[in-house]
Amino acid sequence: MTDYINDLDAAVTGTDTTKTLAKEYPDASPQSLENAERIAGLTDAVSRLTDHLTQRKTNRDRRREMQRRVFAEIELEVARLAVATGKATEREKQLVREAAEADNANLDDLAKRFDPAATTETHQ
């Protein structure tokens, strides 16, 4: 974040682009050139700050999604243990059944994707 504050400070104090602007606009007053340079610098700094904040939001969203997945996996493992010990609630039993169905569907999809003939052959 400090880099962005420094960029804003540099944008307000101006840089050597005033010389370039003076060549392009010889009739412009020195104050106008300085103001144009400040505006350009501020625009660039705001753009970089926006990019930085967007990246932080993307990273935060990814982290939250990973947390959701980990918690779901933990919940499923707890349900499997409860079913294995015979102390599962109806909700835990349903969760394990749904996970098994999803696993079977994923295995079927993988089999079709990697071996299209596997769907038509019978295994002996």
Higher pLDDT, 115 or 41: 41
**99 inside domain:** yes
pTM more than 0.85: no
Helix (H, G, I), strand (E, B) or coil at 120: coil
- In-domain check, residue 103: yes
Name the domain count of the chain. Answer: 1
**Residue 33, pLDDT above cutoff 50:** yes
pLDDT at 84: 92
At residue 5, the pLDDT reads: 53
Q: How far is Cα 57 from Cα 61, in angstroms, rounded to an integer?
A: 6
Whether the predicted pLDDT of 90 surpasses 90: yes
- Section 47-53 average pLDDT: 90
Would you call 44 exposed, middle or buried from its count of C-beta atoms within 10 A (0-12, 13-18, 19+)? middle
Residue 47 in domain: yes
Residue 124 lies in a domain: no
